[in-house]
Amino acid sequence: MLSRIFIQNFALIDRLEIDLKNGLQVITGETGAGKSIILGALRLIMGERADVKSFAKSDVKSIVETEFHINKNFKDFFDDNDLDFEEQTIIRREILPNGKSRAFINDVPVTLDILKELSSKLIDIHSQFETSNLFTEQFQFGILDGLAKNQSLLIDYQNHYFGYQNTKREIEQLKSALAENNRESDYKNFLLTELEEIQLDDLDFEEIQNQLGIQENAEQISEYLSETISKLNQDDFGILSNLFDVKNKIQKLSELSSDYQDLSQRLEASYLELKDINTEIENKAESLEIDPNLLQALLTTVNRLNSLFLKHQVNDINGLLEIREELSATQNSLELIENQIEEKEKNLKTIEKELDSLSKKLSENRLNFSENLENQAKQIFSQLGLEKAILKIDLSDSTTYNLHGKNNIQILFQANSGFPLKPIQGAVSGGERSRVMLAIKKIMAENNALPTLILDEIDTGVSGRIAEEMGKLMKEMSQDLQLIVITHLAQVAAKGNENYKVVKFDEDGITKTTIVKLSEDEKLNEIAQLISGSKITDAAISQAKELIG
């Protein structure tokens, strides 16, 4: 329930504060007094944009604040958005002079999206020209589902539906990724096979290059080794033979004088080292083989490796090993994607079974209650002077799942006998729209937990008995919800539990607007004025008393 409205610096409103009650709250006032300004301020709470040019004081921020009495059904919303739940919840919107906007729920800053989501659950503003939502499929389903008590069933269905949509989208994304990878799969398979065949784990590129160098220069190496062995081992002039003689002579000198012992030891060591070198050279010469097949194999391996280095733009075998692992992982990922697609398609079939079951229940409930809705509408139409009007629910099966199940809906309407039923958007005239919408709102109020409903001059264009019936209808509606009605009709104003008047006045040469609560006597005079005009007559007072009852 909307319990308080506070407005500051908005259009002609300098400061306005009003407390509201439950039941039928009626707001009256002369044309141009500023009733639409108050609604405009409330629409800021609904998340609509504000025009700072309309502010009376351009250097002062505009504030619109509303207080709602809410129940614990809203606690989940507050928890989900990290807000403090209060049964007396305050929603505030501030528009700064620079045009920037701030929104608060219980003094906690929130985004406009959160503000809109909460306010849409708390308040519904309907003006005389706002009947277009009656033509939407969502609104039409809402009417029928409210009557059929489908709310919890629909929430369950929609949770599965969103899961179904997400799963379908994930499958499409996976298939797209699989197709993209498959387009390159053959080439990647070729590259992987090429790297696997060369057995990179067993190769040492430096050693291969070394062996290749030996084979390519084997004859020259053999020649150099032979010459070296010859020079080391000649009997009379060989290096080893001469060094042996030198070593022995110095050894004899060391025996004559200790000054030569160090030289003797060094020559002994050099001789042994040279002798060892000679042995190793002889071994290498003996083991050296000139193998044309080995040479060809080494050339082939080196050429393949160099080609792979160039192809994959790496410098060594480690780089090729990394590329091989990446290609292998890619091939594994293809299998993984295929497995994921298979698993999600199984999950999709499970969800489809549940959707079929839930949508079937929704459809059955709608069919069972569609006639009830048609009868209720006919009865209310009759009250509102549309005795011949007929409303028909055309519920058909859909070939695909949608947000509302597996149905399509269309409300058909005819205002007069002898004319065919047509979709309501093309069948209802301007003079009938307000009454049709009021009838729909009445049915919804009886069957749905509607928020605070504000009807802005929805009774425009009616009078006499129809106006009286509209007043009764609104009074009945106010038993199921808080109903705030802006009206020019005395018949409607007379039914108010609480009555308020929007007045315009001048203060210091500035026109301002405010709202005042009417006492019983003021209510009587206001209704009489609605009947007779600016001059209140005794007959108007008498008639007003009769209307109030």
The first and second tokens of residue 496, run together, are 């108010």
Residue 484 lies in a domain: yes
Residue 493 is part of which domain span?
1-131+451-518
Q: What is the pLDDT of residues 502-540, one digit of tens each?
A: 999 888 888 888 999 999 999 999 999 999 887 888 899
Residue 427 lies in a domain: no
At 8, which CATH number? 3.40.50.300
Between CA 532 and CA 536 the distance in angstroms is: 6
Name the residue type at position 252.
K
Please check whether residues 78 and 213 belong to one and the same domain: no
pLDDT at 256: 86
Residue 312's DSSP bridge partners are none
Please check whether residues 187 and 314 belong to one and the same domain: yes
CB-CB contact of 2 with 66 (8 Å):
yes
Please check whether residues 107 and 202 belong to one and the same domain: no
Between CA 258 and CA 236 the distance in angstroms is: 30
Nearest to 142 by CA among 406, 381, 371, 409: 409
Please check whether residues 10 and 82 belong to one and the same domain: yes
Sort 519 into a burial class: Cβ within 10 Å, 0-12 / 13-18 / 19+.
exposed
Please check whether residues 208 and 122 belong to one and the same domain: no
H or E stretch covering 278: helix 261-287
Residue 244 lies in a domain: yes
Please check whether residues 65 and 188 belong to one and the same domain: no
Residue 501's DSSP bridge partners are 28, 516
Between CA 120 and CA 476 the distance in angstroms is: 23
Please check whether residues 320 and 219 belong to one and the same domain: yes
Query: Which of 294, 313, 335 is the last residue in one of the domains?
Result: 335
pLDDT at 440: 87
Residue 486's DSSP bridge partners are 27, 456
pLDDT at 401: 95
Provide the domain count of the chain: 2
Please check whether residues 183 and 276 belong to one and the same domain: yes
Please check whether residues 101 and 209 belong to one and the same domain: no
H or E stretch covering 424: helix 424-427
**Residue where the block lists tokens 């709102």:** 441
Residue 541 lies in a domain: no
Q: What is the pLDDT of residues 276-296, one digit of tens each?
A: 998 998 898 888 877 788 888
Please check whether residues 322 and 196 belong to one and the same domain: yes
Residue 257 lies in a domain: yes
Residue 64's DSSP bridge partners are 7, 93
Please check whether residues 22 and 83 belong to one and the same domain: yes
Between CA 101 and CA 123 the distance in angstroms is: 21
CB-CB contact of 491 with 467 (8 Å):
yes
Residue 229 lies in a domain: yes
Please check whether residues 322 and 186 belong to one and the same domain: yes
Between CA 278 and CA 273 the distance in angstroms is: 9
pLDDT at 288: 81
Query: Which of 304, 335, 366 is the last residue in one of the domains?
Result: 335
Q: Which residues of the chain have pLDDT under 70?
A: 52-54, 56, 128-133, 183-186, 192, 329-333, 449
Query: Which of 302, 335, 368 is the last residue in one of the domains?
Result: 335
Residues with Cβ within 8 Å of residue 362, at least 6 apart in sequence: 145, 150, 153, 154, 157, 404, 405, 407
pTM score, whole prediction: 0.67
Residue 275 lies in a domain: yes
Residue 407 lies in a domain: no
**Cα 33 → chain centroid:** 43
Sort 31 into a burial class: Cβ within 10 Å, 0-12 / 13-18 / 19+.
exposed
Sort 77 into a burial class: Cβ within 10 Å, 0-12 / 13-18 / 19+.
middle
